[in-house]
Amino acid sequence: MLKSKIYKISGVLILIGLLTGGIWYWQMPNRHKAIVKSFLFEKLGIVDKEWKVANRSETYKMISPEFYIDGIYKSMEGPKSSNYVQLSQDSTLLWLTGFHVKALAAKSLKTVSKDFICHTNVDFNDVKYYSSFHLEKRIGTQYPRLTSLSHGMENFSFPKGYGVPMKGNELLYVTTESLNHNLPEANFWIRHEVDIDYSKAKNLKPLMSRTAFIMLPYDKSNPYKQPTDPGTNQCIPVETKNHSYDDGKGNKLSGHWVIPVGKNTYRSDVNEQLQLQDSLRLHAAAIHVHPFATRISLFDKTTHQAIFNSKITNHIGKTGITGIEPFSSEVGIWLYKNHKYEIVLEVNNTTSENQDMMGSMFLFFYDKELDELLQKN
């Protein structure tokens, strides 16, 4: 009789636990559901969780673990995985020259639609990186993200004669994330192949990366109130936990916001992000936007001229980005300390409901200070 009661109590407790866990899971946002599913798949041995790596001559190639696509995953919601990259076993100076990502069928490894590619972020350890070049004053001045590939810009290379130098035995941290805007009944597995091009040449010019992105103010006391007053330049954030910033005066800014139906233009000052201590020559830019963006520009407010315009082509008949026009120039364009700069983003939400948006640039400038240091070695 005692055992019977124990079994009944245990059964009730297990049932309550399952119900509680189920309610907790279904209340999660998509990105957290993806994390939970990926964790369970790995622990149960359902998914191949290992990265497959091949470091060929001047191309570091790696294939991600399997990602389960089982529904709609908008930007920053899909299954993802991270891996450390070491280009060589010694401190030989190497030059990063290009980045590429493509989606593969999980088993056959055949290329599939790029619509299943969200972000591929490439981060570095700024303490070790700058210390190795005796540039300690740069540590902590910017978020240590070298660049990012994303839907619409799956390939990015620096102009001829330029690259980002690094010691071969230092580590890069690569995170790649999946995406699915158009197949709600999806039920399949994919992988991502990420390639990093590098060179052993000794005559390249060094580039430094600066990240600039649109940040729009929102009402911190009532962030989701709609509609916003156009005269206040405020936005409605997608959420207030991620991509939320403080302007130093107690006001809240969002780098991930909601766009209404129709055409709109968004502007954001980026001088503080650019940190121009002197004139710098811009040679390349990798762009990140979300579907329904149509054009993004780096704009000189002082001269009233665009430094460059990047046209964005969207899919016809479904959600997604066909292509993003990169900026690349061997000659370069000068940016000046005493000028004011902003990012201008044009969007056209052709759906019948609100969509989410971001507008970011990874800008690469000629690094004169580092070039002089390398010339001495």
Token duo for residue 51: 């990265």
17 or 48: which leads in pLDDT:
48
Query: Which of 193, 25, 8, 214 lies closest to 110 in space, CA to CA?
Result: 193
How far, in Å, CA of 148 to CA of 156, rounded?
Answer: 9
pTM, two decimal places: 0.88
Helix (H) or strand (E) holding 117: strand 117-124
**Residue that has been written with the tokens 């997604």 in this structure:** 320
Question: Which CATH number is associated with domain 210-376?
Answer: 2.60.120
Which residues pair with residue 157 across a beta bridge? 98
Proportion of the chain above pLDDT 90, given as a percent? 75
What is the structure's pLDDT at 32?
60
CATH of 40-203, one of 1.20.950, 2.30.30, 1.10.3470, 2.60.120: 2.60.120
Helix (H) or strand (E) holding 155: strand 155-157
- 40-203 and 210-376 share one CATH topology? yes
20 — pLDDT class (breaks 50, 70, 90): low
What are the extents of the domains in the chain? 40-203, 210-376
CA distances, 64 to each of 85, 259, 276 (Å): 12, 32, 37
- Convert the pLDDT of each residue in 316-359 to its tens digit: 999 999 999 989 999 999 999 999 999 999 999 999 999 999 99
136 — pLDDT class (breaks 50, 70, 90): very high
Average pLDDT for 252-280: 95
- With vertex at residue 230, the alpha carbon angle to CA 226 and CA 235, rounded to the nearest 5 degrees, is 55
7 — pLDDT class (breaks 50, 70, 90): low
Token duo for residue 167: 């010691």
64 or 220: which leads in pLDDT:
64
Mean pLDDT value across the chain = 90
